[in-house]
Amino acid sequence: MKLGRVLILGAQGQLGVELQREFADYADVVAMGREGCDLSRPETIPGAIAESEPEIILNAAAYTAVDRAESEPDLANRVNGEAPGVLAEEAKRRNALLVHYSTDYVFDGTKQGTWVESDKTNPLNVYGASKLLGEQNIAASGARHLIFRTSWVYSPHGQNFLRTMLRLGAERDQLRIVDNQFGAPTTALALARATRQVLEHPWSPKHAGIYHMTCGGETSWCGFAKAIFEKSAPPTGKSWPAVTGIPDTEYPTPARRPENSRLSNDRLKRSFGVELPSWRIALEETLGRL
């Protein structure tokens, strides 16, 4: 099923690359990086939208430096908060559909079970607050929109936990990894595929809103690291390091992280019949791409 003209923003990022690959055979794709549409300069957005004339906008661009955001709140809010609102206004003007990606960090991590879309938000850091502002600005615009909250995103390329672990694992004999924060590692490959599957459904106004979109299951950062090494061949002549779990109090960072980032994907499955693979299966697929 052809989807018309699709504009992908954040073309060089982890998710942007996979969206281009996934939509290549399903749409007339226009991909823009920062040089074509710089979300840190929201005033450039209307011209970029006018130039591409999209029917669907996939916003994979974001400020994602979680710790640096604590010292750059204005920039984080401009990219993650203000710019999505401008995108939504432009989408509304053209009756285009805006698809935007948000984060588990809009929650404070205090809930015992999995988070659902209607749970009260309470971000612990600037990054989470800036992403929440983006959600609110999109919803207030009245544009046709889908917001997909995801977690712990990684891919075969870019800077992410998987590639960091493989690099550090080749350099060190021991690693100490946080073991009291829980979530679902989610691949950009699985996100892109699920996005395409959602968009193959006929649009209805009842579909607008927020959906959680993560791989299935859960683990800690330490559990994720151990799985990466279990499923990867070590460098020639070397074994992978011993991995020890530690509490986050032993690894302080400028930005606080929620301890429970587990998101329920039930609404996504009920509404569109879309279900992402377990995080372990998705990890194997991603390692196969390296």
Task: State the residue for tokens 């005033």.
Answer: 43
Residue position matching structure tokens 């544009």: 143
For residue 91, give both structure tokens.
Answer: 């989408």
Active-site residues, by number, are: 127
Cα angle 108, 113, 115 (rounded to 5 degrees) comes to 55
Domain regions of the chain by residue span:
5-160+184-218+262-281
**DSSP, residue by residue, 183-252:** E--EEHHHHHHHHHHHHTSPP-GGG-EEEE---BS-EEHHHHHHHHHHTSPPPTT--PPEEEEE-GGGS-
d(CA 224, CA 182): 10
Query: Would strands 219-220 and 153-154 be described as parallel, antiparallel, or unpaired?
Result: unpaired
DSSP state of 156: S
User: What is the chain's pLDDT, residue by residue, as a tens digit (290 residues)?
Assistant: 678 899 999 999 999 999 999 999 999 999 999 999 999 999 999 999 999 999 999 999 999 999 999 999 999 999 999 999 999 999 999 999 999 999 999 999 999 999 999 999 999 999 999 999 999 999 999 999 999 999 999 999 989 999 999 999 999 999 999 999 999 999 999 999 999 999 998 888 899 999 999 999 999 999 999 999 999 999 888 999 999 999 999 999 999 999 999 999 999 999 999 999 999 999 999 999 98
Name the one residue in this structure whose structure tokens are 């006018």.
50
> How far is residue 104's CA from residue 261's CA, in Å, rounded to a whole number?
6
Structure tokens at 86: 């401008």
Q: Which DSSP symbol is given to 68?
A: G
| Contact in structure between 194 and 152 (CB atoms under 8 Å) | no
Under CATH, to which class is 5-160+184-218+262-281 assigned? alpha beta
> How far apart (Å, rounded) are the C-alpha atoms in residues 286 and 290?
7
- Say what angle helices 126-141 and 83-94 make with each other, to 10 degrees: 20
> How does strand 97-103 pair with strand 186-187?
unpaired
Chain segment 27-53, per-residue pLDDT in tens: 999 999 999 999 999 999 999 999 999
